[in-house]
Amino acid sequence: MPVRPVSPAALVDHVVGLVLGGDGRRRVLVDGAAPLRPGDLADALVEPLRAAGHAVARVHADDFLRPASLRWEHGRQDPDAYLEDRLDAGALAREVLDPFAAEGRYLPTLWDAARDRATRAAYATVPERAVLVLDGELLLGRWFDAELTVHLTVRPATLARRLGPERAWQLPAFARYEDEVAPQDVADVVVRTDDPRHPALVER
């Protein structure tokens, strides 16, 4: 598929422009392996959206992980568990994505993975035309409702290099994700970030 090189600023403008094209509360998912820093792109969307008159709720999928006893039931370096058991997808839909759109409320955090305990966060509320920006890994293919999905991708060799030897065990999880979910086909926006200074939009 052809790609169009863009600057990081132009990429932000492109995504923001797509968000501004809709009505009501809108949910944006920024998906990508952690070394690709999807959180950076998600963070960069916040101020332009606010400048355009939208309240913005910023949520991290890593604040909705399952307890360690479930995530690591098959060991700390099981790639299938990393794909299937790490994220509490049900809680993320039930406590964030669905009530945000329907009721204008959401839970900012659920689980503190470092301390392995609930955060006990209170629900937050948002007005109409608010935007939820969620970043995380392996988010697509989970039946999440969202108005816009963005997927960051790199060549397999680039991902292996960025993960490094300590996290190389995760590579089969991302390979399964590519094979079973095909995120480059299902995402609304696909961005190649082999060189993070020079991203490229995949045009379909």
Q: pLDDT tens digits, residue range 144-188?
A: 999 999 999 999 999 999 999 999 999 999 999 999 999 999 999
User: Looking at the domain covering 10-191, what would its CATH class be?
Assistant: alpha beta
Q: Is 111 exposed, middle or buried (0-12, 13-18, 19+ CB in 10 A)?
A: buried
The pLDDT tens digits of the residues spanning 68-116 come to: 998 888 878 999 999 999 999 999 999 999 999 999 999 999 999 999 9
2: phi then psi, degrees, rounded to nearest 5: -70, 150
Query: What pTM value is reported for the model?
Result: 0.95
The pLDDT tens digits of the residues spanning 31-70 come to: 999 999 999 999 999 999 999 999 999 999 999 999 999 8
Instruction: Give the DSSP letter of residue 195.
Output: S
Give me the residues paired with residue 118 across strands.
Answer: 111
* Residue whose tokens read 């090189």: 5
Rounded to 10 degrees, the C-alpha dihedral 157/161/162/166 comes to 130
Cβ atoms within 10 A of the Cβ of 204, count? Answer: 9
pLDDT score, position 140? 98
Asked whether 149 and 29 are in contact (CB, 8 A), the reply is: yes
Question: Mean pLDDT in the chain?
Answer: 96
